[in-house]
Amino acid sequence: MGPGKKLGFALGWLLLALPAMGADLAVLHNGFSIRHERRETTGSVTRLYLGADKGYVDIATDQIERFEPDLSPAAVPATAPAVAPAAAPAMGSSRPAKPRPLQAQELNEVINSISDRHHLDPDFISSVIHAESGFNQRAVSPKGAQGLMQLMPGTASKLGVSNAFDPRANVEGGTRYLSELLERYNFDVIKALAAYNAGPQRVQQYGGVPPYYETRTYVARIVRDYNRKKIAERKAAAATAARARRSKPAASRPAAAKPAAIAGLSSQASR
């Protein structure tokens, strides 16, 4: 659990009631986007209806940067398998073939594709994987969590992941679970990450991040890693823009603009 792309962190509450036709994305100032089928705005709150049987989330309107059509591929029907089936067993063997470990570039492509399908920033999912398993596709925790996103067997079963060591299935299941947690907590990323680590029942019990050293360290680690990536990304973009400006004749250069504040994850998790 890049600018204008998916997900972000921190929400608040404004506008006119605006019904949406078809599926749209509400792009938030913090970088997140929320797919919804229609919306209503009352006072300072915009209610986004997520679709049949998914309910709605209330978002502070002043946290919404814009609305745009959802041009991503159609979502997989609820009756279809959530993840691709495991590889077929080899001829003459009764056991399924062991999933082939993915190379770094292949894994990046899987993360990008799955994150895009769930409208999450791939850097966010990558930071979660980094904290969970260190990108070890065969990782097993002392408690029995498995694979890249450290799915517990019971959670994996509920998500339709038959083999948690299949990297594609694991990332799909873990990303979908994070997306569900984000919806559950109205896109409060800190709570969603805490629930991913300690369980939703603990977040409910303590009204937020539980007072566990492991969970607080886990959330803070992901916050720092994600922010580090976003800061590096913005610095690279600024450097590219500066080189482009220097390459133009002086007369054609636009007036310098003040740099925008860096939007990132809240550091409250480390408190």
In a domain, 233, yes or no: no
Same domain, yes or no: 175 and 126: yes
Given 187, 206, 225, which residue is the final one in a domain?
206
**120 has a pLDDT exceeding 90:** yes
* pLDDT for the residue numbered 135: 94
Given 50, 71, 92, which residue is the final one in a domain?
71
Number of structural domains found in the chain: 2
CATH of residue 134: 1.10.530.10
* pLDDT for the residue numbered 91: 44
Per-chain mean pLDDT for the chain = 77
Band the pLDDT of 156: cuts 50, 70, 90: very high
In the chain, the percentage of residues whose pLDDT exceeds 70 is: 71
Q: What tokens appear for 39 in the block?
A: 């919306």
CA-nearest of 16, 201, 226 to 122 is 226
- The CA angle 107-112-115, to the nearest 5 degrees, is 120
Task: List Cα–Cα distances, 226 to 64, 125, 176, 184, 190, in angstroms.
Answer: 21, 9, 19, 22, 13
**19 has a pLDDT exceeding 90:** no
| Distance in angstroms (rounded) separating the CA atoms of residues 262 and 28 | 14
**248 has a pLDDT exceeding 70:** yes
In a domain, 245, yes or no: no
Which of the two residues, 5 and 104, has the higher pLDDT score? Answer: 104
Task: List Cα–Cα distances, 112 to 97, 109, 123, 218, in angstroms.
Answer: 25, 5, 9, 23
**3-state DSSP call for residue 41?**
strand
Which of the two residues, 137 and 262, has the higher pLDDT score? Answer: 137
Long-range CB pairs of 256-265, under 8 A, 24+ apart, other chains included? 262/230, 262/231, 262/234, 263/8, 263/29, 263/30, 263/31, 263/230, 264/9, 264/223, 264/226, 264/227, 264/230, 264/231, 265/9, 265/10, 265/189, 265/190, 265/222, 265/223, 265/226, 265/227
Given 206, 224, 258, which residue is the final one in a domain?
206
CA atoms within 13 A of residue 183's CA, in its CB half-sphere: 20
**Structure-token match 């078809």, residue found:** 22
Band the pLDDT of 73: cuts 50, 70, 90: low
- The CA angle 129-50-65, to the nearest 5 degrees, is 75
Cβ–Cβ < 8 Å for 30, 81: no
pTM of the full structure: 0.63
Using DSSP, how many helices (H) and how many strands (E) does the chain show? 7, 6
Average pLDDT over residues 37-66: 80
Same domain, yes or no: 64 and 136: no
Band the pLDDT of 152: cuts 50, 70, 90: very high
Q: Which residues are catalytic?
A: 132
Same domain, yes or no: 108 and 65: no
| Distance in angstroms (rounded) separating the CA atoms of residues 136 and 226 | 19
**Structure-token match 């799915």, residue found:** 151
Cβ–Cβ < 8 Å for 110, 102: yes
**267 has a pLDDT exceeding 50:** no
Q: What tokens appear for 54 in the block?
A: 């998914």
Average pLDDT over residues 91-105: 68
Tell me which residue range forms the domain holding 178.
Answer: 104-206
Same domain, yes or no: 141 and 184: yes
Highest-confidence range of 34-38, 46-50, 140-144, by mean pLDDT? 140-144
Band the pLDDT of 3: cuts 50, 70, 90: very low
Average pLDDT over residues 175-193: 94
